[in-house]
Amino acid sequence: MIFSSFDFLFRFLPLFLILYFICPEKWRNQCLFAGSLIFYFYGARHSPLYFVLFLLSIPVNFFIGQLIGRKRDAKERSFWLNAGIFYNLFWLILFKYSTFITENLNLLLSYTKTGLQFPVIRLSLPLGISFYTFQAIAYLADVYRKEIRSEHSLLRFCTWFSMFTQVTSGPITRYQEIRSQLIRRRFSMNRLETGLREFTIGLSLKVLLANQLGRLWSQVGAIGYESISTPLAWMGIIAFSLQLYFDFYGYSLMAQGIGWILGFQIPRNFAYPYQSLTMTEFWRRWHITLGKWFRDYVYIPLGGNQKGFVIMVRNLLTVWLLTGFWHGADWNFLLWGLLLFALISIEKMGLGRILNRFPAAGHLYMALVIPLNWLVFAISQPPQILIYLQRLFPFFTAPGTYTWFEGDYLKYGRIYGLSLLAGLIFMTDLPRRIYSRHRRSFLTAVILIVLFWLCVYCIKMGMDDPFLYFRF
């Protein structure tokens, strides 16, 4: 069940909200926990064992957190922290990376002439495992550092861990960010209205922009990268860049909107990253909760930038390779992480200061770097990445290497030109500033209502796709 589906919009969410608000305040955590389990079970209904794994992870992390909090001996606390990290990462590695590791190990063994090969077991990825694994590790680490006390209420812990607003695709919500809200929440018509508005905006970005732009990228792939013109190649990779942004940004806004309705303040996950002047700034604005997780639990513990330039570069390399690998078990994700490491390292050597000093140069730099960055992310096979690069920059290609329909970009420009233009506008903060200025006007309310029912129509007509980040 996804936020942009009929089942969620017209069955689960209305029924859940009715039950949530009619039940006494002291029972609302129980109601939210039960609703979240139903939501997750529906999403994992084709693999019931994954639901069992999710259920098991809740008490395991709760009791390990209590053990860390109770122990006074540093070695015992460290032992239980490592045990908790091992438990959570074991399942993530098993389901997400075992196939990749086994296939590449077998490839290496094939050169040894020993004949030894390991069986390759292909497992589907449990819903949301990348996100709830990182939430669990953050909780255990924060208890270990004594930044928070271990939670003594199993119900509150269960409610936070399983909350359907963020369990499948984030934002990665740390326990201390909503702990007080689990004890007492404030409700008002203003919060309800704000939540409904934010949910509608997120739904519109997902259905009316991300899904339409995704169709252009899919059609470029169906044509074949070697058979597209240079203008269409640029249109395609720009469409993917915008699709990825509006898909995940839209989901995050919907999660925040539902959070407002329920009385929670879900952390912000995007801050108009495509307006950045450097890739360093971009990753402070893109998937903010993931970036903070790697900063606080990997980069800083390794020494950050406090132990000299060489150690800083090592730490950056570690963080960005792990970031790439977190997104997917394939070589292109590691290559993508390596590219980000190279760009950010060069910026820290001085390029970043120049780009920040001259904003026009920074925007031009990012206009080139962002699509190329997402190209490596989007295409899993390196030879296909090379072909696409040759289509983007045909002056590096020998004449006559490829043939294509010369008017292809005109054909697809007529179909998707308006969506591309809208995407380029809405990736900036201009629409939000206009919205904030006229938020209380009657016309704004009418526009949001029209957008909601237009989204419903598109969903009804089958013009909807699963969220891209469900893959990660």
The residues annotated as belonging to the active site are: 327
As given in the structure block, the two tokens for residue 431 are: 């629409």
Cα separation, 126 vs 109, whole angstroms = 29
Burial environment of residue 25 by CB neighbours within 10 A (0 to 12, 13 to 18, 19 or more): exposed
Q: How many CA atoms lie within 13 A of 448 on its CB side?
A: 19
Handedness of CA 27, 28, 34, 37 (dihedral sign): negative
3-state secondary structure of 233: helix
Cα separation, 68 vs 414, whole angstroms = 60
3-state helix, strand, coil in the chain (%, to 5): 75, 0, 25
DSSP state of 468: G
Burial environment of residue 168 by CB neighbours within 10 A (0 to 12, 13 to 18, 19 or more): buried
Cα separation, 385 vs 37, whole angstroms = 41
Handedness of CA 192, 196, 198, 199 (dihedral sign): positive
Cα separation, 223 vs 404, whole angstroms = 10
Whole-number Cα distances in Å, 427 to 13, 210, 271, 420, 431: 28, 11, 10, 11, 9
Angular region, 456: left φ>0, alpha ψ -120 to 50, beta rest:
alpha
Rounded to 5°, the CA angle 25-28-30 comes to 140
Cα end-to-end distance, the chain, whole Å? 16
Q: How many CA atoms lie within 13 A of 151 on its CB side?
A: 26
Residue type, 406: E
Q: List, in order, residues 6 or more apart from 230 with CB less than 8 Å away.
A: 391, 392, 393, 394
Can you say how many angstroms the Cα of residue 18 is from the centroid of all Cα atoms in its chain? 30
